[in-house]
Amino acid sequence: MASAAHPTPTAPVDSGFTVLIPARLSSSRLPNKPLADLAGLPMVVRVAQRAALSHAARVVVAGDHPRIVQVCQQQGVESVLTRDDHVSGSDRLAEACELLGLLGDDVVVNVQGDEPLIEPEMIDAVAQLLLQRTDCSMSTVAHAIATTEEFTNPNVVKVVLDAQHTALYFSRAPIPWWRDGMASGATTLPQPQPLRHIGLYGYRAGFLRQFPALAIAPLESLESLEQLRAMWHGHRIAVHISPHAPGPGVDTPEDLERVRRLLSQQVS
């Protein structure tokens, strides 16, 4: 838990990992989201540029439409065109691994295409953790929850860890929960401090290519959390605890305007 924060890896970051950025043109809340203008550049290009500031050997956008590939090519961003019928980002990444010839223990970091303010150091930490944790198929990030509003919000995914900072469970429910919590209500946070999961993942490419063939887990369907499928089938997920919350992502038009304001302050 947060009281024993996982140290930032001290060994040099291995530059052999690949960042894959899945980008889907259609979005119910924000149509053409990867192409949305952010300070003069499409959002997916902004994400790729941030990821390129990490120690990744390669940053590749996996798009589902030729327009995404075209704008990436125009800005010198490597990209591949994947099928447009994938049911999840993991399926898209698995196809991208095939197209790029990534196999076995090659480390892939999945950076979401709507995270234009992603911290490059966080990408490095996820990659390095998976390289260190040979017992795990995946790695991810969490940070301490500071408010009861976050703790009780079902849109904030929580994670609990074991002593080695391996995930025990992910949930939309407030976890961990103390014995008498139902009587007192969530007016305070439990101790040790609960952790918010951040949707940044490292994978071994061999596992990522197998993942779409795994049967959907009942807990995955119940919680609507894809990472529970991996755990259901016995795969372990190492968790890096970040001292910082991630920058805001873009899911809605309101999010887009907020990120535009933040970027305009940075480039002005």
Give the integer Cα–Cα distance in Å for 223 and 206: 26
Q: Are 30 and 36 in contact (CB under 8 A)?
A: yes
Question: What single-letter amino acid sits at 45?
Answer: V
pLDDT at 60: 97
SS3 (DSSP) at 160: strand
User: Hey, which residues does 81 pair with through a beta bridge?
Assistant: 63
Closest CA to 99 of 253, 228, 208, 198: 208
Quote the CA–CA distance of 83 and 101 in Å, as a whole number.
17
- Which amino acid, one-letter code, is at 59? V
- Give the per-residue pLDDT at 239: 98
The fold of the 15-243 domain, in CATH, is: Spore Coat Polysaccharide Biosynthesis Protein SpsA; Chain A (3.90.550)
pLDDT digits (tens, 9 = 90+) for 73-83: 999 999 999 99
**Residue-level pLDDT at 218:** 97
Q: Give the pLDDT score at 1.
A: 40
Dihedral (Cα; 99, 103, 107, 113), 10-degree rounding = 20
The four Cα atoms 83, 209, 156, 55 give a dihedral, to 10 degrees, of -100
Give the pair of three-digit tokens for residue 72: 């990436």
Rounded-to-integer distance, Cα 195 and Cα 159, Å: 6
**Where along the chain do its domains lie?**
15-243
Residues of the chain short of pLDDT 70, as ranges, are: 1-15, 28, 183-184, 267-268
What residue type is assigned to position 8 of the chain? T
Residue pair 107/139 in contact (Cβ under 8 Å)? The answer is: no
Give the model's pLDDT for residue 132.
Answer: 95
pLDDT of residue 15: 62
